[in-house]
Chains A and B, each alone.
Chain A
Amino acid sequence: MSLFDELGGADAIDTAVDIFYRKVLADDRISHFFDTVDMEGQHTKQKAFLTMAFGGPNNYTGKDLREAHRHMNLTEEHFNAVAEDLLATLEELNVPQVKIDEVMSIVGGTKSDILNL
């Protein structure tokens, strides 16, 4: 069973996105990428991202991720900051370690696309 289903599907994932979004907005290393007038749009993007990372239904491809982040001049530090905030989110939700490892491994797999390496 994926973490997405275990947490309760699309309805429950909103809570995880809220916790995660608050963390990135409070994170000086990356908050400027997320602090936008279109908070709902940003929230939606993060929902899609977490759904993918939690093994839920998605149709995102490496190409989409690459394209979306292409002109943002992202560095390893930015990627690590997001990963740390996500890890802290999962810990706050009391997700078991084995599931945390699964999620972080999915996220780790997107690194080269997100950083356009």
Chain B
Amino acid sequence: MPAIFFEGEELDCRPGESVLDALNRHGKEIPSGCRAGVCQACVLLTDEQQVAARHQQGLSAAQRDLNYFLSCQCQPTSAIHVRRPDSGANRVRGKLVNREWLSDQVVRLQLDADMDYRPGQYITLWKDSSTARSYSLASHQTQDKWLELHVKHIPGGAISPWLCNDLKCGDELTLQGPMGSCVYSHTQDRPLLLAAIGTGLAPVLGVLKDALVNGHHGPIYLLVGAARHSGFYYQGALLRLVEEFPQVELQFLVQTWEGKACPGLIEADIYQYCRERFSDLSGYGVYLCGAPTFVQKMRKQAFMAGAAMSDIATDAFLAFGETS
């Protein structure tokens, strides 16, 4: 009988039984719907290198790259390691190697950790056994030596003051991940719309780096929005990064103009700007990262403007306590 290793726990699987049915039989609650490979409610992740195409039918290119599969369709014939996409991810120890304030609100952390990831995914940092927060990866796994996270300093917060002030370079901490599927998918010629507010810039920067490393030659529209000038960070670095790539158009949008000019900065409402500038998004890859209200509103707008649901990737920063 083939064994299923579910987040490390060994469970038996009967001949002809699907991974989903076996896990349910063992009392593991895996969401499921159609059990016919269509609804995608039962997706799990596997560490196996080869995943059969029919176990991945209908999944997005990014999900296929990340080894997602439909657990209702997979009847294992040999041992298989599986886990839920956003939980049970590996925990590793890492070390803070560099910390830099990018603005009076945002800190860049660089961590040394042995973790295989895709830019735009996120990891969870553990302060102690019960306190953790998730941050998205702005670094590129082959271009950057360290893992890069952008942390917004929230006075009185459970984790950010520790990360921004207390943790010393050289200190160790526990990282869990990577998780999430907001990653570049290898379609080099389609136009991309990358839109971020706040530290949503971190995953967007990760996706941008990966697109450029992979020779993306379709136009890339990078929009960074903020309510006020103080909400921006990394402007100079971004301008330098895109300088040598003519296919990238970088636009900073501020809602309330405070008279501080910067290259590429205009006064505009990001929703209104997108409605007018990107009235037809069919065929675009769309990446939306930042606060949940921004992501939800932009996702609906992008979808109604013609972007396919499977071509919209999002990374919404959840307030603590929300789980989905």
Instruction: List the interface of chain A (C-beta within 8 A of B).
Output: 9-11, 13-15, 17-18, 21-22, 25-26, 35, 37-40, 43-45, 47-48, 51, 56-60
Contacts and interface: CB of A to CB of B under 8 A. Distances in A.
B288 to A, nearest CB: 11
Contacts, number: 67
Given A48-B38, A56-B38, 5 more contacts: A18-B308, A37-B292, A39-B309, A47-B38, A58-B34
A57 B36 contact: yes
B84 interface: no
Interface of B: 33-41, 57-58, 292, 296, 299-300, 303-304, 308-310, 324
Given A15-B308, A39-B299, A40-B309, A59 B35 contact: yes
Contacts of B303: 18, 21-22, 25, 39
A60 to B, nearest CB: 7
A35 B300 CA distance: 9
A59 B33 CA distance: 8
A3 to B, nearest CB: 14
Nearest to B38: A51
A22 B304 contact: yes
Judged by DSSP, the binding face of B is loop
A89 B299 CA distance: 21
A10 B70 CA distance: 12
Given A25-B304, A26-B304, A57-B36, A10 B57 contact: yes
Contact of B41 (A11, A21, A44, A51): A44
B284 to A, nearest CB: 13
Contact of A59 (B36, B40, B57, B300): B36
A2 to B, nearest CB: 13
A110 to B, nearest CB: 15
A102 B176 CA distance: 50
A13 B308 CA distance: 12
A45 B35 CA distance: 13
B304 A58 contact: no
10 contacts: A14-B309, A17-B309, A18-B308, A22-B303, A35-B300, A37-B292, A37-B296, A39-B300, A48-B34, A57-B36
Contacts of B310: 14
Nearest to B33: A48
Nearest to B36: A57
The 9 closest A-B pairs by CB, nearest first: A57-B36, A10-B58, A48-B39, A51-B38, A10-B57, A48-B34, A59-B35, A43-B309, A44-B39
